[in-house]
Amino acid sequence: MERLSQKSGSCHGIGALERIGASRRRSSPRASGRSQLRSGLRLLIGAVVIPGCLAIVGCLAIANAQDKPVESATTRRAIQRALPFLEKEGVAWMQEKSCASCHNVPFLLWSHNEARARGVAVDERKLAEWTDWTWTFSKTRREWFKLSNDIDAVLPPEVSAKLKPIVTKPFSAEKELVAELAKLLTQEELNQYQGALTKQATRPPEPMNDGGGLDTLSQVLLGRAPGDKTGNAPEFLADMQNVIIRWQQPDGAWKAAGQLPLQNRPQAETDAVTTMWAVLALASINGRGPEADKALERALQFLRNLQPGETNESLVTAFLVERTFGQVDRVTALLKEILSRQNRDGGWGWRQGNDSDAFATGQALYALSKSGLPLPNTAIPRARDYLIKSQAEDGSWLVSGTAISRSTNEARLKKVAPIYRYWGTAWAVIGLSHTLEETNAAQASQNSGE
């Protein structure tokens, strides 16, 4: 595979856009842009799934239904052993760091939701509390409007003095700022200065209005459960997608932040991976608004001429985006590339040729489970066996940061080791869960003893 680069002849997700555009040109002038895009996306999804599976396998779940009972039982035990570790370390992170972090709390939720969906016992009360905590934390990072002391230069002294109580006070929405201004100013003053004050108070994208981090929001959306009341509430979904859309760059991409730029790959590749996770997150929302559809179209245009980069995650996300929005032949080619990178021990590494680890292997299993295409009979069992055999006594998976982190400093590598251990364990649970048949929430509740 070529490294991440701009190529005019390659389609990375948007053999789609030409068809979306054609669909719009054929549509009635009265049709809304929103319905046009959605119709185009539905056609594209059908084009990927149906033609690619006519003569072979409809989905991996069909193959899983024939799985040997002993293998399913062993997989469930591995998942069950991992969940206490994920809970202990995830909750400790919440309490000690007071932060969600893209590598921690979202994966606490995602791993437990995937396990629950396969009938593995989880504490649903705790899971609901963790989800609520994550949203509450995210809402504290919404400083989109905040007046500064610079208002003294644009307002008469008597008006500026009235606003001193709210200078540097953050607001998450313009209407909240205006409501506070209305309490402090006369109607005449509000009419005269509202526009200037709103403009002065508007903040650019910065850490205090990122909702807890773009990648964090994407993983929360992707990892939510069908029966999750908070995770599927209209207000929650609207709030999450609003922040993601606000952080989109003018070129349609999203920029990676937090720990991600420190990973061992080019920055452009890291940003492309972040963009693809954001695309998948927005696409997972049924009934998303027209602004989300526009954001998706801009992002797909950005990804149009990008080749997957060096890392397994880049290849996996490219495959998942292509599967959702792209062309069957491209999906098949990317799937073939993923399978070619499977190591002899059954796992995948950060890059081709790297030692296998739970982080990359879990991501590969997640992608393979969504392929809708025929797979070699041994691909899934070998990956599953690798994970089961490499699980530690405490239920976790050790993941070395030497391949993933670009740092060579021993102190730094020691510091990030627990992060990659947690991250890799969560991905192992997600991947293993996808090798099992999905059950319903009622069965999961029964299994948890509630």
User: Domain range for residue 250?
Assistant: 16-142+212-447
pLDDT at position 279 over 70: yes
Q: What is the DSSP letter of 202?
A: B
Reported pTM: 0.78
Token output for 380 = 């899934």
> 31 and 135 share a domain?
yes
Nearest to 92 by CA among 116, 108, 113, 112: 108
pLDDT digits (tens, 9 = 90+) for 397-430: 999 888 888 888 888 888 888 999 999 999 999 9
> 293 and 270 share a domain?
yes
Burial 379-410 (b: 16+ CB within 10 A, else e): bbebbbbbbbebbeeebbbebbbebbbebeee
> 302 and 371 share a domain?
yes
> 218 and 341 share a domain?
yes
Hunting for tokens 């791993």 — which residue is that? 111
pLDDT digits (tens, 9 = 90+) for 179-195: 999 999 999 999 999 99
pLDDT digits (tens, 9 = 90+) for 163-176: 999 998 888 788 88
pLDDT of residue 116: 94
Burial class (CB in 10 A: 0-12, 13-18, 19+), 213: buried
> 125 and 191 share a domain?
no
The domain total for the chain is: 2
> 252 and 366 share a domain?
yes
Specify if 206 maps to a domain: no
Using CA atoms, how far apart are residues 433 and 369, in angstroms rounded to an integer? 10
Helix (H) or strand (E) holding 443: helix 441-447
Q: What is the DSSP letter of 405?
A: B
> 71 and 220 share a domain?
yes
Using CA atoms, how far apart are residues 169 and 359, in angstroms rounded to an integer? 41
pLDDT digits (tens, 9 = 90+) for 202-247: 887 777 777 778 899 999 999 998 767 777 888 888 888 989 999 9
Mean pLDDT of the chain: 81
Sequence-distant (6+) residues with CB within 8 A of 8 are 305
Q: What is the DSSP letter of 251?
A: T
Using CA atoms, how far apart are residues 231 and 225, in angstroms rounded to an integer? 7
CA distances from 269 to 6, 66, 203, 313 (A): 11, 38, 28, 10
Specify if 11 maps to a domain: no
Say if CB 321 and CB 270 are below 8 A apart: no
> 381 and 424 share a domain?
yes
Say if CB 6 and CB 307 are below 8 A apart: no
DSSP H helix total and E strand total for the chain: 20, 0
**DSSP string across 157-194:** HHHHHHTGGGTT--BSSHHHHHHHHHHHS-HHHHHHHH
> 359 and 343 share a domain?
yes
> 289 and 375 share a domain?
yes
If pLDDT is split at 50, 70 and 90, which confidence band does 135 have?
A: confident
